[in-house]
Amino acid sequence: MLRRFTRSVIIFIILFHSYVYASSASLNDPLPSWHDHAIKKAIIDFVQTVTDTTNKDYVPPEDRIATIDNDGTLWVEQPIYTQMIFIMDRIKALAHTHPEWQHLEPYQSILHHQAEHLNAANLEHLFAVTSQGLSTKEYISLIKKWLATAENPHFKKHYTELIYQPMLEVIHYLHEHHFMVYIVSGGGQDFIRAFSPTIYHIPLERIIGSSSQTQYLYQHHAAHLIKIPKPLLICNNEGKPEAIHLFIGKKPIIAFGNSDGDRQMLEWTQSGKGKHLMLLVHHDDGKREYAYDIHSKIGTFSKSLFREAKKQHWHIISMKNDWKVIFPFER
């Protein structure tokens, strides 16, 4: 228990340090973890242009919308989405009350550590099983507890330490320039909300993600929203511009993604009237993180997306060549 506490304190100090570092660094260089290549210059030029009241491309603060994908754009998504690991850990934690799961798919695969057999339909089902009947408050509290202790087996780090330092600097830089920075993720909205305010400094009302329906319950002067296993929003592909309209009602002027699921969000951003900037993180650093694109099941960056990016002049960020460090703990 004491070790765990010490560990938490150390993580807090590291994160706080990285935040303060980003703050002070920004006086000189707003993006110190980025190499001084074309993309860093493009981001800084863009922000300077749209915030310069004398520039013809000036954008008032109320229209400075930034949308950023989460998995693979703000934190690690390999070998499998963090939320999936949470869900599988929930299945394991609940298994003693469900002896039948030992011989029933997809539970059997999870309990015997053969998660590679899972498919998208399994995931939706598992999400429902592990969340239904819980209140939104209970669910978020479970996620917080899990994030405080679970470790990524490859990096031997907490999942909330596996966030990209260069992207933290981008968020901070955009906030400093009065952008409204939203996360727009195919992942679960409540899942991201469990850590986003402390880790990314992005408040709950700016988290857009996939979500299930809830049912309002009012008993004995207490009000709850109970999660029910019916999808409400699937915030991926076409679902991203649809959710952006629903939550924001304005087009982003800058958008970051990393995979085919972000394509429509970038098109939506590009279709806006004024100046805009579209960027894709390319995972090409097998040494410091992972190298994957067209053949990956998670975070597919298809040939067709490469072609569209090139044609539309979307920037492709090379993690290997554009980022000096990947994670805050490297510094």
Instruction: Give the list of residues 6+ apart from residue 2 with CB closer than 8 angstroms, or none.
Output: none
What secondary structure letter does DSSP report for 258? -
- 77 vs 190 by CB, closer to a copy of itself: 190
Degrees to nearest 5, angle at CA 131 with 127 and 132? 110
Residue type, 278: M
Interacting residues with a copy of itself between 67 and 126 (CB under 8 A): none
Contact 248, 268 (CB under 8 A): no
Is residue 267 near a copy of itself by the rule CB under 8 A?
yes
Distance CA 166, CA 162 (A): 12
Shorter beta-carbon distance to a copy of itself: residue 23 or 271 = 271
- Closest separation in Å from C-beta 221 to a copy of itself: 7
Q: Which of 3, 96, 221, 303 touches a copy of itself (CB under 8 A)?
A: 221
Stretch that binds a copy of itself, among 33-41, 102-110, 265-273, 283-291 (CB under 8 A): 265-273
Identity of the residue, 80 or 248, whose beta carbon is nearer to a copy of itself in the bound complex: 248
Residue 270 touching a copy of itself (CB under 8 A): yes
- CB 248 to a copy of itself: min, Å: 5
H/E segment holding residue 280: strand 277-282
Task: Draw the binding track, 24-63, toward a copy of itself (x: CB under 8 A; -: no contact).
Answer: --------------------------------------x-
| 189 contacts a copy of itself (rule: CB under 8 A) | yes
3-state percent helix, strand, coil for the chain, nearest multiple of 5:
50, 20, 35
Report CA-CA distances (Å) from 78 to 247, 283, 290, 299. 29, 10, 7, 8
CB 27 → a copy of itself: shortest distance, Å?
A: 25
Binding-site size for a copy of itself (CB under 8 A) equals 34
Of 104, 205, 304, 331, the one binding a copy of itself by CB under 8 A: 205
278 lines the binding site for a copy of itself (CB under 8 A): no
The residue from 9, 94, 203, 297 that contacts a copy of itself (CB under 8 A) is: 203
Which of residues 268 and 290 has its CB atom nearest to a copy of itself in the complex?
Answer: 268
Question: Is the distance from CB of 70 to CB of 257 less than 8 angstroms?
Answer: no
Q: How far apart are the first and last CA of the chain?
A: 28
Residues with Cβ < 8 Å from 167, sequence gap 6 or more?
A: 68, 73, 74, 256, 281
Told to check if 136 binds a copy of itself by CB under 8 A, we report yes
* Total count of residues recorded for the chain: 331
Q: In what order do the strands lie in the sheet with 65-68?
A: 222-233, 207-219, 180-188, 65-68, 254-257, 277-282, 315-318
Instruction: Considering only the stretches 3-11, 42-50, 206-214, 252-260, report the one whose residues sit in contact with a copy of itself under the rule CB under 8 A.
Output: 206-214
Residue 240 dihedral angles phi and psi, to the nearest 5°: -70, -55
Q: Which stretch binds a copy of itself (CB under 8 A): 47-55, 109-117, 197-205, 288-296?
A: 197-205
Q: Does 211 bind a copy of itself (CB under 8 A)?
A: yes
Examine residue 176 and tell whether it contacts a copy of itself (CB under 8 A). no
β-pair type (65-68, 180-188): parallel
| CB of 262 vs a copy of itself, minimal distance in Å | 13
What region does 284 belong to: left with phi over 0, alpha with psi -120 to 50, or beta?
alpha
Binding site for a copy of itself (CB under 8 A): 62, 136, 180, 189, 193, 203-205, 207, 211, 213-216, 218, 221-223, 225, 232, 238, 241-242, 245-250, 264, 267-268, 270-271
